[in-house]
Amino acid sequence: MVITSTDNPRIKALAKLKTARERRRTGQFLIEGGREVERATAAGITVEALLICRELPGAIDPIDVTAEIIEVAPGPMRKVAMRENPPGVIALARQFDTALSRFVPGPKSLYLIAEQVEKPGNLGAMLRTCDATGADGLVVADAATDVFNPNVVRASQGALFSVPVAVAGTRDAIDWSRQGGLQVVGGYPDAAAPLWDVTLRGPTAILVGAEDVGISAAWREVAVPARIPMSGQADSLNASVAAALLLYEAVRQRTDRPLPAGKDEPVAESA
């Protein structure tokens, strides 16, 4: 039986999961799109139900899935989907554990800490960069956007399921970084040392602040400043761009290749 009414109670309940409050209440979230659903199941995410609309592109034959199958018409699919052009498949999934205590830093650790980042697109782009740089995890500190927001899932292109993610308050995240012996490195436009001169070879957490206000006072006390040079009229970069520049600088320094003469010392520590 295909659900055709947008007033169907099941559809209304699913559409509610577009709000952070309902996701918190139920511990569930939505995954839009066949590729994303495949990556989620491959990563061991529990899919409880699959909404399938055969009239929309990307509908899949859920042969491998033990989840409940709900066949719907385009109208109900549009109601449940966050994106304007709904996909042929949306999964109802169970949220995974995001406790920070799962993250145990080691001597080669590389983490990204995103403080109060608001835009789902930025969190998604950061997850992709964490995946590409082989970062050990993303810590969402003092979350301004729920990582289970459908737009984060989408913008991450499935990296939400391959990159370990933790959510924590600022205080807890600072304590964790201290106890783990992590050097926290934040990008500032006015720091003395450019990022290329701050050694990122030891256990490191890259820190980026909120889109509008940047890094908070609490984090400024613990973070080593690294200057991202800016020569223009604008005073900041997109948050996910700043994160990527610092993460890839860590990759550059950790790649087995000659360093500039005299740059093997941790400049930031002597500054």
Interacting residues with a second copy between 35 and 54 (CB under 8 A):
39
Choose, by CB under 8 A, the member of 13, 49, 144, 237 that binds a second copy. Answer: 237
Size of interface with a second copy, in residues (CB under 8 A): 45
Neighbours of 176 (CB within 10 A): 22
Closer residue to a second copy, CB minimum distance, 3 or 245: 245
Alpha-carbon distance of 261 to 264, in angstroms, equals 7
Residue 83 found at the interface with a second copy (CB under 8 A) = no
Q: Which is nearer to a second copy, 9 or 232 (CB)?
A: 232
Count the alpha carbons within 13 Å of 202 in the hemisphere toward its beta carbon: 14
Query: Site residues for a second copy, window 131-170 (CB under 8 A)?
Result: 131-134, 155, 157-159, 162-163
Quick check: 26 binds a second copy (CB under 8 A)?
no
What would the 3-class secondary structure string for 75-104 be?
A: HHHHHHCCCCCCCCEEEEEECCCCCHHHCC
Nearer to a second copy among residue 57 and residue 194 (C-beta)? 194
Q: Which is nearer to a second copy, 5 or 238 (CB)?
A: 238
**Which amino acid type is present at position 172?**
D
Query: What residues pair up with 161 in beta bridges, in sequence order?
Result: none
Nearer to a second copy, 107 or 258 (CB): 258
Radius of gyration of the chain (CA): 21
Helix segments in the chain, DSSP class H: 9-16, 20-26, 34-42, 74-80, 120-133, 150-155, 159-162, 170-179, 217-220, 239-254, 267-270
Report the 10 Å Cβ neighbour count for 267: 18
Which C-beta is closer to a second copy: that of 11 or that of 198?
198
Does residue 241 bind a second copy (CB under 8 A)?
A: yes
Tally of residues, the chain: 271
Min dist CB 187 to a second copy, Å, is 11
Interface stretch with a second copy, choices 6-14, 87-95, 136-144, 223-231 (CB under 8 A): 223-231
Q: Residue 192, interface with a second copy (CB under 8 A)? A: no
The first and second tokens of residue 31, run together, are 């995954």
Nearest distance, CB of residue 252 and a second copy, angstroms: 6
Q: How many CB atoms lie within 10 A of CB 145?
A: 20
| 2, 230, 264, 265: which one binds a second copy (CB under 8 A) | 230
In sequence order, the 6+-apart residues with CB closer than 8 A to the CB of 170 are 115, 141, 142, 216, 218, 219
Q: Does 271 sit near a second copy (CB under 8 A)?
A: no
Give the interface with a second copy as residue ranges (CB under 8 A): 39, 119, 121, 124-125, 128-134, 155, 157-159, 162-163, 194, 196, 228-234, 236-238, 240-241, 244-245, 248, 251-252, 255, 257-263
